[in-house]
Each structure stands twice: as C-alpha cells, then as structure tokens.
Amino acid sequence: KIKRIGVPEIRARKGGEPLVCLTAYDAPMARLLDPHCDILLVGDSLGMVVHGLDSTIGVTLDMMILHGKAVMRAAKQALVVIDLPFGSYEKSPQQAFESASRALAETGAQAVKIESGVYAAETIRFLTERGIPVMGHVGLRPQAALNEGGFKAKGRDDAERERVFREAREADAAGAFAIVIEGVAEEIARQITAEIAAPTIGIGASAACDGQILVTQDMLGLFDWTPKFVRRYAQLSGVVEDAVKAYGADVKSRAFPAAAETYSFKPKNG
C-alpha cells in the first residue's frame, strides 16, 4: 500500500526540495498526476476550466465535494487539498468550520484552502485548532475579482505590498500549514518565503517560493486563457482538435469503423 503524504511532511519541506503541486478535478487526470505530485489541489478554478464560468464566484461547496470525491478515488500518494469556494467560509469561523468539515468528511481529503485576506486569520486559527489543516492563499485572490475589476498582479505600490506581507504573516501565525502566493513580484515572494515558517507555494510568484503550483489544464495547453506565468508543457488542445477532425472525416467516409472494430457473431450451430 502506498503511503500518503501528510501535513507534517509538507511542512518539513520548508527550504528544502521544492514542492510539486498541480490542480486536479477528476479521477482519470488525478491518477496520472498523483505519482509525480506532493499536493493535488481540487481548486475552485474548476468553475472556469471545467464548468465554463467566467470566474470562480459561481462555484458551490457541493461542486467542490463532487470533484473532490472523484480525485480522492484516484489519488493514492499526494496530499489532496479542497478549495473552499466563494460564500462558504467568509461569514464566520463557524461557517468555515461547517463547510470545511463537510469537505473533508465527504471526500476523505486531508486539508482545505481558503483565500486569506487579513480578516481570515481568525478562521485559519479556528479550523486548525479543531483539527482541520488549512492552506492559505495570498496576493492575487481570484475570489476578490469583483472588487478589483478582474485578475491583477499584486504589490505594485507600497500599500498593496504591505497588504500581501500582512496576509502572509497573519496566515502563518494563525497556523496555515502552507501558503499559496499568487501573482506577486519575485522580491515580495522571496521576502515572504524567508520570513514565514510555512512553506510557500508560488503561482506567478517566481522560483523563490518553496514550491510551485499551476492549473493542470493551463500547463497541458487545454485551456486557452494563459497568463504570463504559465508555462505550457504540452499543447493538448491541438492534439484533441486533430483527433476529432480525423474521426469526423473517417465517419463521413465510412473508413471508421473498419472490420477489426466491428462485431460479427457466427451462428452457433453454423
């Protein structure tokens, strides 16, 4: 039996070999990613990359749990983290506890992630003290897009830089076991990483972090919206397009299915 990576092993990687993290939303992809990843995040990005929403605002806790169950059926060794979606945790630590305990109990995942503005420190502490490991998420917080008119890198002025630092410090002090830093300049990510105890996981936040995460569909070239920080390790959209074009042509010319792909039952007493 494969042993699953736990929260202490993730914490112990602070300053060591960088943590390899990707998002996963379904069982077949989770099975492929699992042996190569330390953390699989069931991200609320699934609203955009799987369900076709314009932002993550419309994602529900039930959607997260459905996809979390699928990932947990296939992921055997990576630590699986479930994103708490917009509206499921911000109101109070109690509301967050109810959502987080459902997410863990119904999926079997080991941790939740919340987008952690400074206000969220109280919630991180409340959950952690009650046995729910929490990953923080600071800097560019996609669930705050309505206030900000879209997705914008953070830390361009002093007030913003100070806010990102505070978000990271407070999440760390409140007990977050790891903190995603999204969309900030390298020197901010480097300073935060040096200063806090929790490992930092960067997305658009330079190689100075203790690990990296990308949205799997971005990295595989399956989703066309790609910000500056994404590296495409494959261009699967082209592979899918070529395959479906060839299939369509074969169906129309009756080249598919061929004899080898066709049943022919011989009569029994022929």
Residue list for the binding site: 44-45, 83, 113, 115
Strand partners, 82: 42, 112
Catalytic residue among 98, 122, 167, 182: 182
Joined together, the tokens standing for residue 127 give 């959950």
For position 218 contacting Na ion by CB under 5 A, the verdict is no
Residue 203 touches which member of ligand KIV, Na ion, none, C-beta under 5-8 Å by kind = ligand KIV
Q: Is 83 in the site for Na ion (CB under 5 A)?
A: yes
Residues with Cβ < 8 Å from 189, sequence gap 6 or more? 181, 200, 202, 205, 206, 208, 209
Give the residue with the Cβ less far from Na ion, 121 or 215.
215
- Asked if 182 is an active-site residue, the reply is yes
Residue 88 to residue 171: CA distance in whole angstroms: 18
Q: Report CA 206 to chain centroid distance, whole Å.
A: 17
> Of ligand KIV, Na ion, none, which one sits near residue 198, judging by CB under 5 to 8 A according to partner kind?
none
Residue that the structure tokens 């990932």 belong to:
71
Phi, then psi, of 266 in degrees rounded to 5: -80, 140
Contact 222, 237 (CB under 8 A): yes
Stretch 7-46 residues interacting with Na ion (CB under 5 A): 43-44
CB of 98 to Na ion, least distance (A): 19
Q: Is 44 in the site for ligand KIV (CB under 6 A)?
A: yes
The residues binding ligand KIV (CB under 6 A) are 23, 41, 43-45, 83, 137, 180, 203, 213, 215
The residues binding Na ion (CB under 5 A) are 43-44, 83
